[in-house]
Amino acid sequence: MLNSTEALLNVHQMGEADRLSIAGGTPGFVLMENAGASVAREVLAHWSVRPITVLCGPGNNGGDGFVAARHLAKAGWAVRVALLGPSERLKGDARHHANLWKGAVEPLTLDVLQGAGLVVDALFGSGLSRPLEGAAAETLASVARLKLPIISIDVPSGVMGDTGEATGAVPAALTVTFFRKKPGHLLLPGRMLCGEVVVTDIGTPKSVLDTIQPDTFQNGPTLWLAELPHPGLASNKYTRGHALISGGYPMTGAARMAGRASARAGAGLTTIAVSEVALPIYAAALTSIMVRPLVAPADFPRLLEDRRLTAFLIGPGAGGGEETKARALAMLGTGRPTVLDADAITAFESDPAVLEKVITGFCVMTPHEGEFKRVFDPTGDRLSRTRAAARRCGAVIVLKGADTIIAAPDGLAIINANAPPTLATAGAGDVLSGIVLGLLAQGMPPFIAAAAAVWLHGEAANAFGPGLIAEDLPDLLPGVLRDLLARARDMRKGEDCVRHGIE
């Protein structure tokens, strides 16, 4: 199992975590008390004293709101509580905590916003599966118009916890959630509506994850740092892997950027195979990246027979014709790790089912939304359809975007939240495919290689800032990798100290 600290739990799994916690001896009303108290603590930590209105719904989210209101009032804040629906509808733990609130409970109308300086949204949690409507939608819309800061409990009301889809939700300044994040905190548009997300401990034992066995994770080095390749004293250029790219013509820039990214990601050798007519362009622009001319049609399949080649990439600038398709099939036929990007994905548009038959070895596909829709079923939310595509074709699918999803054929998925808007620039995807290639060439397992590449790509962009163009990205990788490998060394030293009892 991947590192559980990065686990994301869907709505059902979070409910199971609560059930297991209660079965293990922690009463539900204690979990609710801890949840509401943690919301109050975050409010106190982020804002100075001012009038606050707590909007409570009819379920457990509303119960959390009653607890938060009680703690804020105890801290000396002027608190108004408004409830959606009659108090008689409250049940269980929510009813218990509503009874502990000794102040007035007002009906949910726009009047409760008068004089407020802050608003707590405790109307609905992540399990809402219908559009926000009625008094709840009207009140939250009014809060947004008044530009009052909102503290959302669990997720902003109207955001779906499993998908990030939003129906009537308004932006929060702060979202307080419990135990683990949900996919909706990272997937768009939910991520844009959550504001700062704080995960608090409410007493859920970590051991519940052993039963739940999460299958979705937030991307980060703790998932793959231990597997990140780095050269040893006995390494040479061949032990570090030999990456091969099928270079396009007349669009030559994409493959060249991918080649430089592969080398910067650590591949010992990177070769770009190009048509003879394109050789002068590639050769003039590249130095450490080798260029292999292809004169006759048989040259490419003959090149693939070289067992020293450890990973392949085709797609950047390749063109979506039959030659690209044939080369992709030849690469996949070797059984060696292969990356299909851009035109190499589009090349299968007329016969996408063939991918299910020909992918028998390690394969990573890196489509953007448009390319994905050409070969895979576009219905459903992004997470579900990326998973379905990976299962169907037996490849790791990297569905690119601000909320890039990496899905494996076995159902595991990783969501990336490390992609700055500056990556929305021509050629950035070509660099990403090159990073994936470089990591695969060194023997990194495909699923975590894809996740690592996506994170490194985003971190390189973060390091540069405004004005980024794709050509900048490969040269930013060494700094990012240097910091990561230093972190890995520190981790190993710490583990050694623990193992030997050294403080």
Q: How far apart are the first and last CA of the chain?
A: 29
For the purposes of burial, counting CB atoms within 10 Å of the CB of 457, is it exposed (0-12), middle (13-18) or buried (19 or more)? buried
CATH tag for 4-217 (out of 3.50.50.60, 3.90.1150.10, 3.40.33.10, 3.40.50.10260)? 3.40.50.10260
- 3-class secondary structure, 302: helix
Please tell me the distance from the alpha carbon of residue 325 to that of residue 427, in angstroms, as a whole number. Answer: 21
Q: Is the dihedral of CA 432, 342, 272, 472 positive or negative?
A: negative
Query: What is the band of 494 on the pLDDT scale with cuts at 50, 70, 90?
Result: low
E strand spans, 131-173:
150-153
Q: Hunting for tokens 């530009």 — which residue is that?
A: 147
Q: How buried is residue 223: exposed, middle or buried, by Cβ count under 10 Å (0-12/13-18/19+)?
A: buried
**Residue ranges per domain, the chain?**
4-217, 221-477
Dihedral pair phi/psi, residue 196, rounded to 5°: -70, 135
User: From the CB of residue 44, how many other CB atoms can be counted at a distance below 10 Å?
Assistant: 14
Q: In what order do the strands lie in the sheet with 174-178?
A: 105-107, 79-83, 52-56, 118-122, 150-153, 174-178, 196-200
- The CATH architecture annotation of domain 221-477 reads 3-Layer(aba) Sandwich (3.40)
Strand pairing category for 311-314 and 290-294: unpaired
Tell me which residue has tokens 């979705």.
Answer: 216
For residues 276 and 294, give the distance between their C-alpha atoms in angstroms, rounded to a whole number.
6
Reported as a single tens digit per residue, the pLDDT across 392-425 is 999 999 999 999 999 999 999 999 999 999 999 9
CB 414 within 8 A of CB 216: yes
Q: Could you tell me the pLDDT band of residue 145, with boundaries at 50, 70 and 90?
A: very high
Average pLDDT (353-362) is 94
Is residue 45 within a helix (H) or strand (E), and if so which, with residue range?
Answer: helix 28-46
pLDDT for residue 242: 98
Asked whether residue 190 carries a pLDDT value surpassing 70, the answer given is yes
**pLDDT confidence bin for 502, thresholds 50/70/90:** low
**Mean pLDDT of the region 47-72:** 98
pTM of the model: 0.96
- pLDDT at 485 > cutoff 90: no
**Bridge-based pairing state of the strands 405-407 and 413-415:** antiparallel
- Domains 4-217 and 221-477 fall in the same CATH topology: no
Dihedral sign for Cα atoms in the order 15, 17, 18, 20: positive
